Amino acid sequence: MEVKIYTDGSSRGNPGPGGYGTILQYTDKNGRVHRRELSGGFHTTTNNRMEILAAVVGLEALIRPCHVDLYSDSQYLVKAVNDGWLEGWIRRGWKRGKDEKVKNVDLWKRLMTAMEPHEVDFHWVKGHDGHPENERCDALAVAAALGDGLPEDEGYRDN
Q: Which of 43, 2, 127, 41 minimizes the C-alpha distance to 77? A: 127
Pairing of strands 2-10, 18-27: antiparallel
Handedness of CA 34, 128, 58, 39 (dihedral sign): negative
HSE-CB at 109 with a 13 A cutoff on CA atoms is: 8
Alpha-carbon distance 107 to 28, whole Å? 30
What CA–CA distance (Å, rounded) separates 123 from 132? 15
Catalytic residues: 8-9, 51, 73, 128, 138
